[in-house]
Amino acid sequence: MSSSGFCASQHQASTLYLPPGPWATVLECLCEHFPAISREQWLDRIARSRVLDINGTPINLNLAYKEGLCIYYFREVPNEKVIPVQETILYADEHLVVADKPHFLPVTPAGEYVEQTLLRRLIRRLDNPSLVPLHRIDRHTAGLVLFSANPHSRSAYQQLFPTRRIDKFYEAIAPALPNLTFPLVHKSRLVDGEPFFRMQEGPGASNTETAVEVREQNGDLWRYGLFPVTGKKHQLRVHMTALGASICNDPFYPDVIREAEDDYANPLKLLAQGVRFIDPVTGEQRDFRSRITLDW
C-alpha cells in the first residue's frame, strides 16, 4: 500500500480481500460472504460511508467485483449494550498511554462489543485514532493496559513483551491452600480447551510459568500475588485452578457457568496490578500501579 493509502489499523477498520466468486458487484460479495449481516445493513453502511476502498474512499453500490480487491469496513453491533463501568487514564504522553480497565470491559472490539471497549473509549477521549493496545487482559480481569499512541515508536514498546523486558504483577483472591508451601512456581503446557474459549493444561514441555506468593490470609480466602513469566491466554486462571484454588467468581474455571450474566457486584477477583520497565524511548524507569483494589 502506498504511503497515501488508507491505514486500516489507524482507523479501526476491518480488512477484507475479496475472495473468488461469481459476483457482479462488491455489494453482492459482501452479502454472501457475511450471511449474518443483511443486505439492508450493508446498504445502510455504504450509504453512511462505512465501507471504503484501499484509498479510504467510500464505495458506491455499483462498484464492480474483482477478486483480491481490498475493502475496509467498520464493524457495528446494533443496539450494543452499554457497559456501566468507567476506565481511568493513569498516564499519557505522545508515545504511551496507560489505562486502568475496570472489570467486564473488553480491551478491543470482539463479538457483541465494538464501541463498548477500552480501545474505542480511549480513542474518543484522547482524539487519537492511532492508539493500539500493546497487550491484552481478559474482559473479566481489571487493571493496567498499555497503549501505543504513536506509530513511529510503536515497535520499540511492542518489543518489551516478547523479549521479557517488562515485569507484570497481578493480584487475585482465591481459596486458601494451606497444604502448599509458598512462594512457589507453577509451570505447565497450556493448550486449547473445551469449549473453544477455554484453555487447559496438557502433556508436553511447559510453555507457561507463574510465580505465586501469599500476601494476606482471611479465613477460607487468601490474597495471592501472581507474577507471570509468560503471557498465555487465561494463564493465571488456569494455573490457580491447577493448584486447587480457582480465582473467586471465575465464570470459566474450573467449570463454565452457562448463561452467566455479568454480575457487577461480584467480579472475577483478578487484577493486573502493576507493570515495571525501562522506557525504550526515554530510557526512564517506568513503574505504573493500578488504583483498583480487590475487596474480600
Say if residues 226 and 212 touch (Cβ distance below 8 Å): yes
Angle at CA of residue 33, ends 28 and 37, nearest 5°: 85
What pLDDT is attached to residue 286? 98
User: What are 188's strand-pairing partners?
Assistant: 208
204, three cell numbers: 508436553
Instruction: Report the pLDDT value the prediction gives residue 78, as an integer from 0 to 100.
Output: 66
Task: Note the pLDDT tens digit of each residue in 48-101.
Answer: 888 999 888 899 999 999 999 999 888 776 677 889 999 999 999 999 999 999
- Where along the chain do the CATH 3.30.2350.10 domains lie? 88-289
Cα separation of 216 and 4, whole Å?
Answer: 56
Number of alpha helices (DSSP H) and beta strands (DSSP E) in the chain: 5, 14
Asked if omega into 195 is within 30° of 0 (cis), the reply is yes
Low-confidence stretches of the chain (pLDDT < 50) are: 1-5, 8-10
DSSP bridge pairs for 101: 143
Residues in the chain: 296
The CATH number of 88-289 is 3.30.2350.10
Outline which parts of the chain fall under CATH 3.10.290.10: 14-73
Long-range contacts of 192-200, Cβ-Cβ distance < 8 Å, separation of 24 or more:
195/256, 197/252, 198/234, 198/252, 198/253, 198/256, 199/232, 199/233, 199/234, 199/235, 199/238, 200/238
CATH number for the region 14-73 comes to 3.10.290.10
Helix pair 26-33, 39-47: axis angle to 10 deg: 130
Q: What is the pLDDT of residue 9?
A: 45
Chain segment 91-111, per-residue pLDDT in tens: 999 999 999 999 999 998 876
- What backbone torsions phi and psi does residue 79 show, to the nearest 5 degrees? 55, 45
- Please identify which residue in the block is written with the cell numbers 480481500: 17
33 burial type by CB count under 10 A (0-12 exposed, 13-18 middle, 19+ buried): middle
List CB contacts of 221: < 8 A, sequence separation 6 or more: 173, 174, 175, 176, 248, 296
Pair type for strands 184-192 and 96-101: unpaired
- pLDDT for res 122: 94
Q: pTM for this one?
A: 0.78
Amino acid 109: pLDDT: 80
- Strand ranges for 53-126 from DSSP E: 70-73, 88-92, 96-101
